[in-house]
Structure 1
Amino acid sequence: MTLLSEETLHPALVVGQVNPNLFGQVRALGRQGVPVYALVTRGESPTAVRVSRYVTGVMDARSLDNDALVELINNFTAGFSRKPVLFPAGDFDVDRMAELWGRISDGLIATIPPVQASELAGKDHQLEWVRRCGVPLPASETVKDSGQLADALTRLRLPVIARPLDHIQRGNFPGKVFVAQSFEQLNSVLTPVLARGKTRILLQEYIPGNATSVWFALADCAPDGSVRQIITGHKCVDGPEGRTNIGRTAVEPNVEARARKVFECFGVGGVLGVEFKKDLRNGELYYIETNFRPDNFVAISEAAGVNLIFAAYLHAIGHPELYQPQQQKDVVWRDWSLLLRRRIRGRPWYRGSNGKPLPVVDAFWASDDKWASLMYYAIKFWEQITGRT
């Protein structure tokens, strides 16, 4: 653990819902002696977060409107002599902080510029930037009504992957993404959604490959997008809605080089994540998406010896020299809570090049934070037996 002096310490404010992202950031900072406050803005009760040994305080803001939330945040920041460092834990949180930024920015230090990150979070906007940078993209079309859908289908080859672009107004879209094997399937699912007029749909030709074909890079970037620290890896088990249920770190120079190009193209600082898919036919890496906030499995970076969250924190408070990265280690990340809900199968006992089992870091379980882990699993187990999701 890196012990910071009282003169150096700034509190950290992690904003989001109770999920792997929030826990990963809380622990990555708390283990280094940073006082961490959790602001829970949506989702389930913050009960599990309250019992974490790495949380100094919890604020439950799930029922607050924007004016009340602004007042809460400003009252919170006013109580410190040094500005808290802001860490948003999800796309919704980036959007909401961006909306409120003009009213709360005086009391906070942002690791990621909320307004810029919110503007770039739209996948169609990302594709425009990445295309200009010369990074390979799958054939893509954006549609907002049935007429545009019919026109787009004349230019796309099956199968087609579809995702809503406006995640706050996604209508009756089935999950985060879905893959259509026929034009009839695509029409039957999307026509009712588009008829509501509340979202746009991104259609892309599906790149052949399995879960292990999806590669990621997680990085701490300077304000101009240049990479300060980075790890790479790939999915092992792809869960429903395209989420990573099991992922593994693995050094891949081609992925790192392409990720650096993408991050520099966007020119945004903070902890970012990017995904590519390797085409089974020719090995080409195609751009999928960039997350302008720490990815949901960011805890894998700490386990791999490259604590991206803490690195971003130290840069934000003006003390980057205090961070000493280690060489990236090969580890596996999993979300065991999904096993409790019977959403994935199997044990992630992957072996390294030496034949030995790799270390496994879980989304919630941590031997040094047992009560929070047990509380979270108890809640998920109760949801399972009562039929809640």
Structure 2
Amino acid sequence: MASKGARFSIDRSVPGLIVKIGDYPLHHGGVGAIRSLGRLGVPMYAITEDRWTPAARSRYLRAPFVWPTSGREDADRLLSGLLRAGRRVGRPAVLIPTDEEAAVLIAEHQRELREHFLFPRVEPELPRRLASKQGLHELCAEHGVASPASSSPESYEAVERFAATARFPVVAKNREAFVRRARPAVTGTTRIAGPRELLALARGWGERPGVILQEYLPLEDAEDWIVHAYFAGESEPRTMFTGVKVRSWPPHAGMTAAAYVADNRELAAISAQFVKQLGFSGIIDLDWRYDRRDGQYKLLDFNPRMGAQFRLFENDAGLDVVRAQHLDLTGRAVPEGEQRDGRRYMVEHIDPAARLAYTRAGGRAYRTPHTPAKPRGTELAWCAADDPLPAAVMAARLVRPGIKHLWQLWRRSRACRP
């Protein structure tokens, strides 16, 4: 719902445009951004796969721009499509990317886009490097930020040498973020139990494996933390939030299914210093894992854009990172405020499965001592009393494949009758 007592005045003459590249229609982060600014009276537009994505049915959306993409298109075609959307909006709009491809496209084509859009200025090559697992590991090493020990084998023979000396289990990830542009080596974060399993997988990676192999941080000795923030020019933090991830889907390695706001001044300071060293401006979504064995926070992912669960975080001034960016880019003051500790966020279509998986695994979702005994308010990803259609469309799109399959089975059974 709209924030009560928001202590800021937003410029309603400047629209927002949700930018996404790739086919992932059930994206609650885009819906959250549409609602966050739309509830304040900001005209909202969004690029969507079709007119029946959940985002396209939000009451706070002025218009969807139907533009299906795969992420395999060349940059010129993607740039042309984004400029076409800008001309349809008809006035400069704040860009809100929801994936790495969109964030990189904007950063690398700032000169062409600045006539039609508002967005934070950043070194053009930086978002691509941050989104890359290999690039991020190198940047962490360069600036003294802890991250999991990693290896990037350049051949199958290099994988064999790694397997002969590595301590298992290990984690395999696609080296580059743009996995939709080619056949990915692994599906998301993949835990590998031993050398035999690693070598079997590596036989399918080709002559130049596109993976990074990282040390596995044991679940029983770790906590998952998230940091969301907005940094203005000169990498100055305008608002910053910290929280703990208690469930994800797939379990322990995927999208946030449930999380809580929890104050962590040490982690906020580490994050702010790293961003300052990088010279990054804009919204960030960081995934950290605290390793109790050595007392270090290790950076797993640096998403140079809005995170899907950003609505977990709101301060007592009514500010989230999307609102902070809009205020800053339109020349408005960004008010300070304290984050609302104990607030909970749940993603309805994946959390039930995640909860079941964690329970069967011995309740490992609740190893962190930082979750409150009782949440102080809950933000749902989909369901909202003032905007019910996105949740209904999401549910319909989830059940439609099952209904279609049952219909096909029924027709086949009819055709087989004597």
Q: TM bucket by the smaller chain?
A: 0.7 to 0.9
* Partner deviation per Cα, 1:127-179 (whole Å, 9 max, x = no partner): 22211222222211112321221233355321111100132345353421111
99-108 vs 201-210, which moves further:
99-108
Cα distance in 2 between the residues matched to 1:148 and 1:69: 36
Paired amino acid for 2:45: Y
Q: Which residue of 2 aligns with 1:239?
A: 249
Q: Which residue of 1 aligns with 2:415?
A: none
1:91 is the counterpart of 2:112: no
Contact residue 211 and residue 237 of structure 1 kept, 8 A: no
Q: Which residue of 2 aligns with 1:316?
A: 329
Q: 2:40 aligns with which of 29, 32, 36?
A: 32
Paired amino acid for 2:238: R
Q: CA deviation at 1:184?
A: 0.9
Contact residue 176 and residue 242 of structure 1 kept, 8 A: yes
Cα distance in 1 between the residues matched to 2:214 and 2:384: 38
Q: Which residue of 1 aligns with 2:301?
A: 289
Q: Which residue of 2 aligns with 1:23?
A: 31
> Relative to structure 1, is the Cα distance of residues 109 and 70 closer, same or farther in structure 2, using a 3 angstrom cutoff?
same
**Local SS of the residue matching 1:365:** coil
Bigger relative contact order, structure 1 or 2 (CA pairs below 8 A, ≥6 apart): 2
Q: CA deviation at 1:249?
A: 1.2
TM-score by length of 1: 0.86
Q: 2:159 aligns with which of 132, 149, 153?
A: 149
TM-score by length of 2: 0.80
* Partner deviation per Cα, 1:164-223 (whole Å, 9 max, x = no partner): 01323453534211111101111111221234x4x5211111112259711111111123
Q: CA deviation at 1:120?
A: 2.6
Instruction: Output aligned runs, 1:372-387, within 5 Å.
Output: 372-386=390-404
> Relative to structure 1, is the Cα distance of residues 317 and 5 closer, same or farther in structure 2, using a 3 angstrom cutoff?
closer
Instruction: Output aligned runs, 1:40-119, within 5 Å.
Output: 40=48, 46-62=52-68, 70-78=79-87, 82-98=91-107, 101-111=110-120, 113=122, 115-119=125-129
Cα distance in 2 between the residues matched to 1:31 and 1:267: 32
Contact residue 209 and residue 279 of structure 1 kept, 8 A: no
1:137 is the counterpart of 2:147: yes
Contact residue 306 and residue 326 of structure 1 kept, 8 A: no
Number of residue equivalences:
381
Cα distance in 1 between the residues matched to 2:182 and 2:321: 31
Q: 1:215 aligns with which of 221, 225, 232?
A: 225
Q: Which residue of 2 aligns with 1:12?
A: 16
Instruction: Output aligned runs, 1:286-365, within 5 Å.
Output: 286-302=298-314, 305-321=318-334, 323=335, 325-339=337-351, 342=353, 344-345=355-356, 355-365=373-383
Identity, % of aligned positions: 21
* Partner deviation per Cα, 1:289-309 (whole Å, 9 max, x = no partner): 211111121111148854111
Q: 1:205 aligns with which of 205, 215, 225?
A: 215
Contact residue 231 and residue 281 of structure 2 kept, 8 A: yes
Cα distance in 2 between the residues matched to 1:246 and 1:25: 18
Cα distance in 2 between the residues matched to 1:33 and 1:380: 31
> Relative to structure 1, is the Cα distance of residues 63 and 308 closer, same or farther in structure 2, using a 3 angstrom cutoff?
closer
Contact residue 17 and residue 45 of structure 2 kept, 8 A: yes
> Relative to structure 1, is the Cα distance of residues 387 and 296 closer, same or farther in structure 2, using a 3 angstrom cutoff?
farther
Larger Rg: 2
Q: Which residue of 2 aligns with 1:277?
A: 289
Cα distance in 1 between the residues matched to 2:65 and 2:104: 19
Cα distance in 1 between the residues matched to 2:324 and 2:134: 30
> Relative to structure 1, is the Cα distance of residues 79 and 175 closer, same or farther in structure 2, using a 3 angstrom cutoff?
closer
> Relative to structure 1, is the Cα distance of residues 77 and 163 closer, same or farther in structure 2, using a 3 angstrom cutoff?
same
Cα distance in 2 between the residues matched to 1:178 and 1:63: 26
Contact residue 12 and residue 84 of structure 1 kept, 8 A: yes
Contact residue 159 and residue 206 of structure 1 kept, 8 A: yes
Q: CA deviation at 1:369?
A: 1.0
**Local SS of the residue matching 2:233:** coil
Paired amino acid for 2:224: V
**Local SS of the residue matching 1:192:** coil
> Relative to structure 1, is the Cα distance of residues 24 and 120 closer, same or farther in structure 2, using a 3 angstrom cutoff?
same
Q: CA deviation at 1:57?
A: 1.0
RMSD between superposed Cα atoms in Å: 3.2
Cα distance in 2 between the residues matched to 1:189 and 1:352: 37
